[in-house]
Structure formats: C-alpha cells, structure tokens
Structure 1
Amino acid sequence: MEIPRETAANLGQTLEWLRKELAEMQIQDQQLLLTLRHLQSLLGELQAESTHWEDTRPSRSTSPFRARLGSEGRGYQPVSRELVQLLRGEESRRSSLP
C-alpha cells in the first residue's frame, strides 16, 4: 500500500518539526542540568559553611553575632564606669558643674 504524496510530504514536515523540537528540548535539558549542578555546588558550599559556623560556635550562651565574628573579644571596647552607673540608674559621684 502506497502513501499518497501529500500525506508523505506532511509526514516528512511533521517529522522534521519533531526533530527540531527534540533538538531544542535537548539544549534546554543541558542548560537545566548545568544550572542544577551549579545550584548543587552552591548548596554544598553553604552547607559546609554552615557546618563550619556550628563547629566554631563556642557555646550556646554566646550570641550568634559574636560567634560569627570569630572571637568574643574582637571589637570589644571597655565601657566607662560612669556609663555603667548611668545605665544602671546610679548617680555619679562627679558633679556636672565645673
């Protein structure tokens, strides 16, 4: 049984269209795969960094902010006795008068 010429031409066009679509889908699949691999590597880096921060965290009582600084003492500036008294609501022995 022979296929009429019109039907054969339509079938050929349809197959060509399917080949092009499949080729485009393969390119999209490759791009998605590259994106997925990149995201997986970023996720792995974030997990490693998170583990590092958890391992270097000194104790539960330390604030997360100070743990991220790397040490309790970094950035520490002593507070004057007058400021401590003022914050506690205690009167300073010094007079504000000259």
Structure 2
Amino acid sequence: MKTAEDPTTNLRQTLEWLRKELSEMQVQDQRLLLTLRHLHSVLEELRAESAHWEDARSSGGPSPIRARAGSEGRSHQPLSLRRLAQLHREDSRRSSLP
C-alpha cells in the first residue's frame, strides 16, 4: 500500500528548492562582493583625501575643507551611500523561505 505522498517526490522537491535557494544565494554573494569592493575603493579614496588634508593642514595652507566645498560640493559620497542602500533593499526583497 502506497502513502499519499511518495518519499522520492518529496525528496526531489526538497532538492529542487535547495538548488534554487543556493542559486539565489550565489547571486546575493556576487552583489555583496561588488558592494564590498566598491566600499573598499571609497575607503581608499577617503584615506587618500584625509592624508592630503592632513598634509595641507600641517603645511599651513588654506583650509582643504573650504577649498573642496567650493569646487566639488558634497554630492559624491551621499550618492554612493544612496546606491548602497538601494542595493541592500533589493537584496532584502529576494529572501524566500519554503
């Protein structure tokens, strides 16, 4: 006598679900890696900029903050943070449970 649900069918469905989850996790890992690389490059830029400011401050030149605010403004860093937040929201929506 057979039960209502064949164990091999249940196992196949479980394995199929696991494969799908692993595939989605790989995509998320790739996005996180890209985000990490981007953050690393932003940190390197900020370190270099900070070193430049420290050099300018110690040499007694004009304030590097005022010089930067006049030409660049503050649009670069918040834009990066907005993009990071957007990527995080997209990854959060992809979570799926059985």
Runs of 4+ in 1 over 3 A off after TM superposition: none
The answer for the alignment partner of 1:80 in structure 2 is none
The structure whose RCO (Cα within 8 Å, separation 6+) is larger is: 2
Identity %: 62
Uncovered stretches (5+) of structure 1, i.e. residues with no partner? 71-98
Q: Which has the higher helix share?
A: 2
Distance 1:35 1:54 in 2: 28
Report how many aligned residue pairs link the two structures.
Answer: 61
What is the correspondence of 1:4-83 to structure 2 with a 5 Å cutoff?
6-57=6-57, 58-59=59-60, 66-68=62-64, 69=66
**Aligned CA-pair RMSD:** 1.9
Uncovered stretches (5+) of structure 2, i.e. residues with no partner? 68-98
Larger Rg: 1
> Cα deviations across residues 19-42 of structure 1 (Å, max 9, x unaligned)?
000000000000001001001100
Structure 1 length normalisation: TM-score? 0.56
Distance 1:11 1:46 in 2: 51
